[in-house]
Amino acid sequence: MEPGFFIEVAGAAIEHRAKLLAPFRKLWNRLQHGDVQIVVYGSGGVGKSTLGRFLASPTSIDAVSIDYKLSDLTEKYDAPSDLWGKLTIAPGQPEYRKDSFPPLHRKVTSGGARGIVHVVSYGMHAIPGREPLDKHTSWQPNDTHESFAARFAAKQRDAELDVLRELVSVLTTAEGPLWMVTVGTKQDLWWSQRHDVNEWYCGKQSAYRALVDEIAKKHGTEHFKHRFVSGALVYGNLRSPTGEVLFPTSAGYEQSIRAANLARIVEVITGLATTEREQ
Ligand SMILES: Nc1nc2c(ncn2[C@@H]2O[C@H](COP(=O)(O)OP(=O)(O)OP(=O)(O)O)[C@@H](O)[C@H]2O)c(=O)[nH]1
Ligand SMILES: [Mg+2]
């Protein structure tokens, strides 16, 4: 049984993220020749570009603006000069996916990338554009910001499953060995609901987990490794395009928890990438 979605280190005395991340920098360095290709998928506004920035430079993530600027082109992140491999990130908003996903699918089915990252955020997706919420397709008469946010997040969780279904069809066609990491972002926003989040992605009844299991069944666990990790890549309320708070940060979310989980994201991805290189 693989571990759940997050580390709960209540009371852990981890003061500085930089300190915690230092050992992992060594791990990144082991991937020196940069030949590991990782493709990153996910719905729009889940945090893929932010993850790319984080992985390329874990200790400077706090300098990244939390304003949402959607990606319209595929992005590539070479981690800093002497480090590991390359991340290719597809834009996630539906209008860009039909152009951005297929080349990544081909990369995977042709054996050009064996590492897949699927980014999710429990439906707490950033909303693009500038329109007020009452013009949004999910807005209903008499909605409050809270009722809208709850319905929107539920709908976006289904959209995350749609992306995963597409990945299942790609990954069951591709030759192994493959590895996949589901990265849950926005831990700062869903921390007070973390047990529901864990059930949603990893629980016995989880539709998400059942889809991942389909891939594992096809390849066998020797040739398909999957891990769940999550973290708060940045920290702050998620606002609507016109500035209303849709998903506030959770009370009681501690910096030590953030640090431990961010370190685990780096550890798990570099660990799987290292294994790939050594195979
Ligand atoms: N609070 C919080 N906000 C986050 C987190 N990760 C990302 N965000 C915010 O979510 C928004 C969307 O992040 P992006 O990285 O642009 O999302 P994306 O998946 O690249 O979106 P597309 O380019 O449209 O596919 C931004 O405003 C980020 O600052 C997180 O862990 N916590
Ligand atoms: Mg982006």
Assess whether the C-beta atom of 248 lies below 6 angstroms from ligand 1. no
Residues 6 or more apart whose CB falls under 8 angstroms from that of 230 comprise 5, 6, 183, 184, 185, 187, 197, 261, 265
Residue owning the nearest CA to atom 23 of ligand 1:
71
Q: Name which of 103-117, 178-192, 250-264 the model is least confident about.
A: 250-264
156 lines ligand 1 (CB under 6 A): no
The reply to whether ligand 1 has any atom less than 6 angstroms from the CB of 184 is no
What per-residue confidence (pLDDT) applies to 19? 52
Percent of the chain with pLDDT over 90: 70
pLDDT of residue 161: 98
| Range of lowest pLDDT (97-106, 134-143, 214-223, 263-272) | 263-272
- Is ligand 1 within 6 A of the CB of residue 232? yes
* Residue 110: strand pairing partners: none
Question: How far, in Å, CA of 15 to CA of 269, rounded?
Answer: 23
Predicted pLDDT at 31? 52
Q: Give Rg (Cα) of the chain.
A: 18
pLDDT band at 35 (very low <50, low <70, confident <90, very high): confident
Q: How far is CA 76 from the centre of its chain?
A: 16
> What pLDDT does 63 receive?
84
Distance CA 98, CA 94 (A): 7
> For a pocket test of ligand 1, which of 17, 50, 183, 229 has the largest count of ligand atoms closer than 8 A to its C-beta?
50
Ligand 1: does its nearest atom lie under 6 Å from the Cβ of 68?
Answer: yes
Q: What percent of the chain has pLDDT over 70?
A: 87
Q: Which residue has the higher pLDDT, 14 or 110?
A: 110
Of 26-35, 114-123, 168-177, 188-197, least confident by mean pLDDT is: 26-35
Residue 50 CA: nearest ligand 1 atom is 15
Query: What per-residue confidence (pLDDT) applies to 82?
Result: 43
* Pocket flag, ligand 1, residue 70 (CB < 6 Å): yes
Tell me the mean pLDDT in the region 158-176.
97
pLDDT score, position 15:
47
| Nearest atom (ligand 1) to Cα of 71 | 23
Is the per-residue pLDDT at 13 higher than 70?
A: no
State whether the beta carbon of 71 lies less than 6 angstroms from ligand 1: yes
Q: Report residue 139 as tokens.
A: 């807005």
Residue 33 has a pLDDT of: 53
Pocket test for ligand 1, best of 68, 96, 257 (most atoms within 8 A of CB): 68
Q: Residue 45, SS3?
A: coil
Own/partner pairs, 163-166, CB within 8 angstroms, 24+ separation: 163/41, 163/42, 163/43, 163/92, 163/118, 164/118, 164/208, 164/211, 164/212, 165/211, 166/101
pLDDT digits (tens, 9 = 90+) for 68-126: 999 999 999 876 544 467 899 999 999 999 999 999 999 999 999 999 999 999 999 99
Per-residue pLDDT reduced to its tens digit, 232-251 = 999 999 999 999 999 999 99
pLDDT of the residue at 275? 80
CATH class, domain 17-278, is alpha beta
- Domain residue ranges of the chain, discontinuous segments joined by +: 17-278
Length of the chain: 279
Which is higher by pLDDT, 11 or 232? 232
Give pLDDT, residue 59.
Answer: 79
Give the residue whose CA is nearest to atom 7 of ligand 1.
47
- Give residue 28's pLDDT: 57
- Mean local confidence (pLDDT), 15-22: 52
Element containing residue 39 per DSSP (H, E): strand 37-42
